[in-house]
Structure 1
Amino acid sequence: MIIRNSELLCGCLDKAVVGDGKKKSIFCAALRDYSTVEAAAFMNRLAKLSARWSCNQGFSIGLSDVMPGAKLCERKEDLIVEAYAQCDDYIAQLQSGELECLPGRDGAATLEETISGVLSKVRDSAGKICMEELGRYNAPLIMATCGSKGSAVNVCQMVACVGQQIISGQRIRDGFTDRTLPHFLKRSRTPEAKGFVANSFYSGLYPTEFFFHAASGREGLVDAAVKTAETGYMQRRLVKAFEDLRVHYDSSVRNSAGTVVQFEYGGDALDPYCLEGEGQPVVFVHNWKHICNMADRSADACRLAPFQVRHIVDRAVQSPRFVKWTTESWRDELVEFLCGLADRLADLRAAYGLEPHAQEPPELAAPANPRGRKPKRKAAAAAELAPEERSRLVLEWSLAEADAAAPLAARRAVDNKLLMTGATLDAFLGLCIRKYQRSRVDPGTAVGAVGAQSIGEPTTQMTLKAFHFAGIASMNVSMGVPRVKEIINAAKNISTPIVKCKLINENSLSSARIVKGRLERTLLGDIAQSIEEVYTGSSCYLSVKIDLDVISRLQLEVTLPDICTAIANAPKLKIGNNVQLQGPSRLNVYVSPKDPRQLYYTLQTLKRALPSVVVHGAPVAMRSAISKDRGSGYCLSVEGYSLREAMNTEGVDGRHTVTNHIMDNLRYLGIEAARAMTIRELSSIFGEYGIKIDMRHLMLLGDLMSYKGEILGITRYGIAKMNDSVMMLASFEKTTDHLFDAAAFGKRDMVHGVSERIIMGQQMPVGTGVFKLLMDYDRHVPPTPRRLLFDEPSSVATAVAAGA
């Protein structure tokens, strides 16, 4: 959408432009470029305009709006028939044993995941067809497109197809009679028997489809109710832990006891509330366009050449105002942006036949010249100039005089596309430094309370039971509220620990399989062809035949003596030296019970336990999968608490091996690695849901959890380690326990924090309560005399008489 001189040139004013709380709305543009008064007036005018238009024009939805056309019905039927045929084909492959299983999954689980992927595409494809087929004045389509309510999925469910019903991340599960409902055959895996609703809400649902849809809707209601309680308690814990964090006058973040949590808030002392873009204090492109549109384009004599632009920028960023108030990285970004404009100006001048760089005269050139074009005498003359004198001459050099002989049309064409004048450049630099200074966080800002709410509020938008495939076949990774809860609680045991290993030879699939065989645990049951009971006249034993072909195909680096050693050292079996090799592919496991009468039972127990003996790989590496990242080679994802084993495996690049388990990072890599992984995990979780939280809030959470030198969870125990205040802890949880302990052990509370000050009715040390006044007691200044009522004898007599 483009607005020039208060006139709408192109685009439409929908939710994406008006704003949905993000910083890309038209109101934020009015606020940052003009003032709060103008932005408020703009909102009032737009609200009145919208209400008046709705009253005059009206907007309604009826049954005719969701009536599908003949072409749409035909294309939907084709999609469903094709999807059903694919599902029948997969079911037939499973029954014939031809279905290729996913890593770590059996045939039934592989079939479920494959069919779910096929059926989920049906609704998406039908939704795209709906968006194409419905007219531009269709009411549901208008609501979904402009963003007022609903989405393309809702339109598709009303018009074309409701789609596959999912409960707990899976299709509808079988009941106690091996089927979902008595209307279907036992152990049926067809789409209609497992919760696929082919009808739309317009055409009406069959009874079985209605039942499946009701089951899915019930899960949504329960999920919302449980999620509200979970996230509400989580936000309360966050606010309690964060409440006394504020910015001091040295830009550090400290708690009420004065302990430093961050030496500089967010690493750059910028306030997220005042930033323009995604974590940027100044959006250069927007502000440059704003300055150019506001500038006077009639002054032809003030045009700047590319070398003059670079000179002005270099001189400006080295001025005390820029050096004192801005960071070096931000100054580099500003210089890069303006030098890019200078290069574009040079390209435009070259394209229209003008001298591209408008090179400065030889007498102003710098003495160093690698190409050696200029005479030495003139270079020496330039070297004799003082920097101030040379700067003055560069600025006085006129581009208009240099282009006097050039065609007027070419000059105007270049100016029309990119006009850089001294006034425009100065105004842009001044606007940038003003906005940067405005973005700096003020001392006393309650960054803790703001950060806790910024993390807690978006968590309520997540789904409670959320699982997704993290780019890996069959590697389920928990997301949503449960994963955020695990991180914030600093849980020692998490639901889905995943170690992502970077391979040294990442371009070879066979090499990746060899590394996978080294790391993933291999059970005896995976490589044993048979386990037989053998009874002789003098002894009885188990004869295990090893499938050497499976070992070769899995590319395992294991031999028969290694297998014997693994069985002998199995901790729970306590076999000892009762394992013997028997031929090239067979080994015998003898039984020696203490009581000979228990010989048979001991043999059967051993027979059941042998298949689960780990003979190769890391016992904690449950399973692994090879995946290929975008833009890079193969990598290995391992499920289990196996960071140390993965880093020490030959073929794995341990420097780039990471795990999503925070406490493993703390144990093996240190506190900084655990802090960085906390921030990265939270950022990726919110990113999966399209929620953008400023990195400064997440950094504050990571620092608060780790500033004591260990990872402290935001729980009643972690908060008690962070803060010693009795009243603060008593106002959170276990009130009587904290008060009794404080009384028994004679604890002292200095009443420095937020909760304590509120309880005592004092001013909180946040915001304007941060600064204090100092009085100089060393100066001998006599007190100023003040006349009081009873200083005069006549007044005393009058008061006594009045009392009488």
Structure 2
Amino acid sequence: MQRLKGKTGRFRGNLSGKRTEYTGRTVISPDPNLRITEVAIPVLMARVLTYPERVSYHNIEKLRQCIRNGPNKHPGANFIIQSDGTKLHLKYADRRIAARDLKHGCVVERHLEDGDIVLFNRGPSLHRMSIMSHRARIIPWRTLRFNESVCNPYNADFDGDEMNLHVPQTEEARTEAFMLMGVQNNLCTSKNGEILVASTQDFLTSSFLVTRKDTFYDRSYFTLLCSYLGDAMENIDLPTPALIKPIEIWTGKQLFSVLIRPNACTKVFLNLTVEEKIYMKLKERDKKAITVLEETMCPNDGFVYFRNSELLCGQVGKKTLGNGNNEGMFPVLIRDYNSHAAASCMNCLAKFSARFIGNHGFSIGVDDVQPGESLNQKKKITIDEGYEKCHELIALYSKGDLIPQPGCNRAQTLESQISCLLNKLRETAGDDCMSTLHWRNSPLIMSQCGSKGSPINISQMVVCVGQQSVGGRRAPNGFIDRTLPHFPINSKTPAAKGFVANSFYTGLTATEFFFHTMGGREGLVDTAVKTAETGYMSRRLMKGLEDLSVFYDQTVRNASGGIVQFVYGDDGMDPVKMEGKGGRPLNLDQLFMKVMATCPQRGHDTLSPELILQMLNDKLSGQDASSGGCSDKFKEMLRKFFEDRIKMLRSTWRALQLDEDRVGKRDSSIEERVAADISGISAKQLQVFLDTCLSRYHSKIIEAGASIGAIGAQSIGEPGTQMTLKTFHFAGVASMNVTLGVPRIKEIINAVKKISTPIITTELLSEQDELFAAKVKCSIEKVVLGEVAAAIKIVLRSNQPHLVVELDMQRTERYMGISSDTVQLSILNDPKIKLKSEHVRVIDETKLRIYPTGTDKSKLQLELHNLKSMLPKLIVKGISTVERAVVNPVLRRDGTFDRYNLLVEGTNLLKVLGTPGVDAKRTKSNHILEVNKTLGIEAARRSIIDEIRYTFENNNMMIDLRHMMLLADLMTYKGEILGITAGGIAKMKSSVLMLSSFERASEHLFNASYAGREDQIEGVSECIIMGIPKQLGTGILKVRQRLQDLPEFKYQPDPILL
């Protein structure tokens, strides 16, 4: 059994994964002159790695030359396999005779040559884009090289990383690798449809510098830059100069127009608007006393606008050219044209950027982060003012005058307010720093274009490092009531609790350096622990979801044919092809802008709003939309889009005081024609737009055989490696923590019975009334007698000893509705105390007497002491499983007040829903098993989806909802919640081989042999172990031919030729 189990056992070490031949591994290096689809392979490696090519009429002379060259000269060959199967080693054979005797049908194991398909991989393989196919390019030297644009999917850098190379050995394998795994077909990630293969670092910096609005070039330099775009193989039409007198000069923006559309034969018309990182919003402009302009007129030139492949305005950066979005230049090129157009632009931009920045020069030094005298003065004033405010708060706390925040005590309130002050202090210092830097400052340029760094990094280098946090809080007391021996006992000043006022340029003091190492160490430990946690989580997800695929009837089934979803993601769309935000299939605004630009209004009558809606309804009720499979949600989205366009149309005409019926007609006035050109829609434009929408929608339907289970597992597992392990503060409530990050994802997919921070978000029937919220809070929150009792005394009398409970009137008023009668009722109902009504007497509003039940005088004193110890813990009001409830003011996105709700820390959703004043329809819990118990399996499924999405969004990670829906459906499709654990997967699947390859191999094998179970070999793991094709992807198809009853084929002349 020892040989079977574990990572190095037979199942995991030899059957599920094997060591392979025809592989290579070495260090990687960058080469911007290579295409993104290419990988440079050293000649040394190419001579060892071979491909078995069959001899035919077309390649016999080439292969004879390879044989003559032999194994030591590239391009050569190592072996010949004759038709009878004998193998000839060319190192020892006479190569001239072997080349002469070569016949058709033989197989020559030749060296790798330019254009061969190879698989390129970097471990850890966290998602499917960690292994892709490239075309080989045989080059001298000893490292594997590729274009830097392809670093993101591999998560590769060039600080000593090594990568692996695999050479497919059959034509079928090469074809599948090229079509399914090719870089050009995997530019976007299946996690959320965002572009992943895109420009990075130096490429972004070069583009940012070239497209500045004050950058001009004369003819000689502009043509030189145009020549950088390629390898002197392209025809380039020079655009019209931006300025003609006194000399012809071109702008840097025109260079981008040449990049996208180098000549008139290139039919690529890019239409795009992007708000870059340096885009200044209207509110920010108002602060800087700039008049309110249109959104397109950004003073920083941050609004990028391409119209018909011409860059009209904007300084391009990461949002336009980089990865991590689906609204930039490359995603739009992929959608509007094809991946070849995007790849071609990437190749040209990489070559241009590397050559331009090499000549232009770009470096960073100590001088770039040296603060000026005025900045030092500003920083000193800012920090002195911030420290003064902190000392005032500490003084208030010491006197006991600090007013606590809702749900917090005074110490927690002090920490919350000081942390807030210190964070604002660093932000203010950072803003001062950014405003004083010259626009040519290298760190500033890199931060603005998104190539590297952020304003926080720059402000830490120049002015102030800021607060160092440990576990999400200020530095804890490590010694006796202080952080370090250098500070007084119980000191809460910023310097004593980890605030670093110095910058990296000025250098840190000894105590500041120590606090900084505390914060850094936490990051290192967090990363190390996280790797193991998320790795195991990803493996479990993959094992649970691996055999789910889409069938031809659009259902999602497992290997044994059990239905998990009737339609994938409720709409059957492929996540990798999504264009809009939030997993929407189309970005209608961008598509409409393209149609308006490429299909002009001129010469066509403008449609009235009624005609627009009529044409839309006719199209949506036609065969393409109804029988073609457009979802009702998509139709509603189209209708909503046109309703908004019509509102804009009417408001434009109303503002210009034009007649609705005359706008856009052939005999209309100049004003009416201008209005029609600005906002009107012609019949042709509407037809083209609707046809494009419907065809694109149908092209985004997921293909049958797609292994969505494996993709979903990777899409949830891979971002988990970037998540944190910390527990976060709940929004606005300093003392209420909520588990997020990796621990929360583990809780959800493990379906644990007792979660670490159960919280019920309770919505109220009267959500604007704070007093009403406080009343409901008092009904829910657990109150024990010890919190409201002023005293609990034992009164020893000779005739009748008893307990006296005195209530504190101020406390009972605060908790609303607690009186002597309610306390009496609670005592009588408590099963542990076991008293009857004659033993508990109410004296007045604030006093009760409790008599012991026993008659034995020797035991009376013991019974009284037991009662005295139990009574403070007696629950007199609220729900026993609720620790506390906090009234939470919910804010809108703009920071204004929206409503009140309650954050209830604890369980028992059923009692909370039954509390008067609670809106049961909108109240929800983050405890999934409790939701299942209270509201049923469908509510639990919805809760799983919402909780996973909330956890990822808190880490600023966007994952397509369809992946979460698939996981939730798998966990609930059996009618109960099954965790993705060894026990849960055993209930989902019955395959012995699959379960043995996961965990507890010996246990599963013994049980199966004892019960005489059979394995149908249907799932992915079983097929890999047995070495047979699996029933998903290209393996879902079977080609068969009916041999009997075939119709007789009659040769007839082709009627078309006649």
TM-score by length of 1: 0.87
* 2:363 alignment partner, SS class: coil
Task: Answer yes or no: is 1:194 the counterpart of 2:488.
Answer: no
Residues 752-798 of structure 1: CA distance to partner in whole angstroms, max 9, x if unpaired? 11111111111111112113356669x667999xxxxxxxxxxxxxx
After superposition, the C-alpha distances for 1:252-291 in whole angstroms (9 at most, x for unaligned) are: 1111111111111111111111111122222222112212
Q: Equivalent residue for 2:36? A: none
Check whether the contact 1:513–1:554 (CA below 8 A) recurs between aligned residues: no
Matched residue, 1:206: 509
Q: Distance in 1 between matches of 2:648 and 2:353?
A: 42
Is 1:290 paired with 2:612? no
Return the alpha-carbon distance in structure 2 between the equivalents of residues 64 and 489 of structure 1: 53
Structure 2: unaligned runs, 5 residues or longer: 1-303, 892-896, 1050-1058
Displacement after TM superposition at 1:30 (Å):
0.9
Aligned mate of 1:677, from 933, 936, 943:
943
* Alpha-carbon distance in structure 1 between the residues aligned to 2:938 and 2:749: 16
Query: After alignment, is 694-703 or 127-136 more displaced?
Result: 127-136
* Alignment CA distance shift 1:600-1:218 (3 Å): farther
Q: Matched residues in 1 for 2:475 and 2:888: separation?
A: 29
1:7-26, aligned counterparts within 5 Å? 7-26=310-329
Which of 267-276 and 67-76 deviates more? 67-76
1:560 aligns with 2:820: yes
Instruction: Output aligned runs, 1:216-235, within 5 Å.
Output: 216-235=519-538
> Which residue of the partner structure matches residue 638 of structure 1?
904
Letter in 2 for 1:337: F
Give the corresponding residue for 2:808: 547
**SS of residue matched to 2:473:** coil
Could you tell me whether the CA contact under 8 Å between 2:406 and 2:733 is conserved in 1? Answer: no
User: Shift of residue 730 of structure 1?
Assistant: 0.8
Q: 1:503 aligns with which of 761, 764, 773?
A: 764
Residues 592 and 10 (structure 1 numbering): CA distance in 2 closer, same or farther, change over 3 Å?
same
The residue number in structure 2 matching 1:74 is 377
Q: In structure 2, what is the equivalent of residue 447 of structure 1? A: 708
- Specify which of 1014, 1021, 1027 is matched with residue 755 of structure 1: 1021
Whether 1:686 aligns to 2:686 is no
In the TM superposition, 1:549-628 aligns within 5 A as 549-555=810-816, 557-574=817-834, 578-590=839-851, 603-604=864-865, 606-628=867-889
Using the aligned pairs only, state the percent identity: 43
Rounded to whole Å, the distance in 1 between the matches of 2:504 and 2:800 is 72
Partner of 2:392: 89
**Which whole-Å CA distance do the structure 1 matches of 2:799 and 2:607 have between them?**
105
> Per-residue displacement from partner, 1:220-260 (whole Å, max 9, x unpaired)?
10001111111111111111111011111111111111111
Aligned partner (choices 414, 417, 420) of residue 675 of structure 2: 414
Q: Cα–Cα, structure 1 residues 93 and 530, in superposed 2: closer, same or farther, change >3 Å?
A: farther
Distance 1:538-1:223 versus aligned 2 partners, 3 A rule: same
Identify if the C-alpha distance between structure 1 residues 130 and 319 changes in structure 2 by more than 3 Å, giving closer, same or farther: same
What SS class does the counterpart of residue 628 from structure 1 fall into?
Answer: strand
Question: Could you tell me which residue of structure 2 aligns to residue 36 of structure 1?
Answer: 339
Distance 1:181 1:597, change over 3 A: farther
| Higher strand fraction (1 or 2) | 2
Say if 2:975 is the partner of 1:709: yes
Q: State the distance in 1 between where 2:778 and 2:655 align.
A: 60
How far off its partner does 1:606 sit? 4.4
Among residues 258, 264, 276, which one is paired with 2:567 in the alignment? 264
In structure 2, C-alpha distance between the alignment counterparts of 1:598 and 1:58, rounded to whole Å: 93
- Please provide the CA RMSD for this pair: 2.6
Q: Note the C-alpha offset of 1:583.
A: 4.0
What's the secondary structure of 1:699's corresponding residue?
helix
Query: Whole-Å Cα distance in 2 between the matches of residues 655 and 414 of structure 1?
Result: 48
Out of 708, 721, 730, the position equivalent to 1:460 is 721
SS, match of residue 201 in structure 1: coil
Say whether the 8 Å CA contact 1:346–1:357 is kept in structure 2: no
* Contact 2:914 2:920 (C-alpha < 8 Å) held by counterparts: yes
Of 514-523 and 669-678, deviating more is 514-523
> Which of 623, 635, 642 is equivalent to 1:331?
635
Separation in 1, partners of 2:1036, 2:959: 27
SS of alignment partner, residue 919 of structure 2: strand
The question of whether the paired residues in 2 share the 8 Å contact of 1:470 and 1:476 is answered with no
2:691 aligned partner, one-letter code: G
Residue 123 (structure 1) aligns with: 426
Per chain length, whose mean CA-contact separation is higher, i.e. which structure has more relative contact order (CA < 8 Å, sep 6+)? 1
Partner Cα separation in structure 2 for residue 175 and residue 579 of structure 1:
49
Distance 2:782 2:991 in 1: 49
CA distance in 1 between counterparts of 2:420 and 2:866 reads: 42
What are structure 1's unaligned runs of at least 5 residues? Answer: 360-398, 785-804
1:602-625: per-residue Cα shift (whole Å, max 9, x none)?
655544443222111111111111
Q: State the secondary structure of the residue aligned to 1:536.
A: coil
Range 319-328 or range 216-225, more displaced? 319-328
1:42 shift after superposition? 0.4
The whole-number CA distance in structure 1 between the counterparts of 2:835 and 2:414 is 40
**Would the aligned equivalents of 1:306 and 1:358 in 2 still touch at CA under 8 Å?**
no
For 2:884 and 2:408, how far apart are their aligned partners in 1?
10
Moved more, 44-53 or 168-177: 168-177
Higher mean displacement: 433-442 or 278-287:
278-287
TM-superposed deviation, 1:580: 3.6
Q: Equivalences for 1:314-463 in 2 at 5 Å?
A: 314-325=617-628, 326-338=630-642, 340-341=644-645, 344-345=648-649, 348=652, 355-358=659-662, 400=665, 403-404=666-667, 406-407=668-669, 409-418=670-679, 420-463=681-724
The alpha-carbon distance between structure 1 residues 670 and 282, as it changes in their structure 2 partners (threshold 3 A), is same
Q: SS in structure 2 opposite 1:492?
A: coil
Match of 1:660 among 901, 909, 926: 926
Task: Return the offset for 1:539.
Answer: 5.5
Greater helix fraction, Structure 1 or Structure 2: 1
Task: Provide the residue aligned with 2:145 in structure 1.
Answer: none
Aligned to 1:513: 774
What TM-score does the superposition give when structure 2 sets the normalisation length?
Answer: 0.66
- Matched length: 738
- CA distance, structure 1, for counterparts of residue 793 and residue 905 of structure 2: 32
- Cα distance, 1:343–1:509 mapped onto 2, change above 3 Å: closer
Kept in 1, the 8 Å contact 2:819–2:846? The answer is no
Alpha-carbon offset, residue 722 of structure 1 = 0.9
Question: Which residue does the alignment assign to 1:61?
Answer: 364
Which among 548, 554, 563 is matched to residue 245 of structure 1? 548
Give the distance between the partners of 2:976 and 2:561, measured in 1 at CA.
Answer: 19
Deviations 1:167-215 (A, max 9, x none): 1122211124121111111122222111121111112111111111111
Cα distance in 1 for partners of 2:651, 2:474 equals: 59
- Kindly indicate whether residue 816 of structure 2 is the aligned counterpart of residue 522 of structure 1: no
Where does 1:95-114 land on structure 2 (aligned, <5 Å)? Answer: 95-114=398-417
SS of residue in 2 equivalent to 1:474:
strand
Q: Secondary structure at the match of 1:532?
A: strand
Aligned to 2:961: 695
* Deviation of the 1:571 alpha carbon: 4.3
Helix, strand or coil for the counterpart of 1:633? Answer: strand
Paired with 1:670 and 1:190, the residues of 2 have a C-alpha distance of 51
Residues 258 and 515 from structure 1, CA distance in 2 versus in 1: closer, same or farther, beyond 3 angstroms?
A: same
> How far off its partner does 1:579 sit?
3.8
Corresponding position of 2:106: none
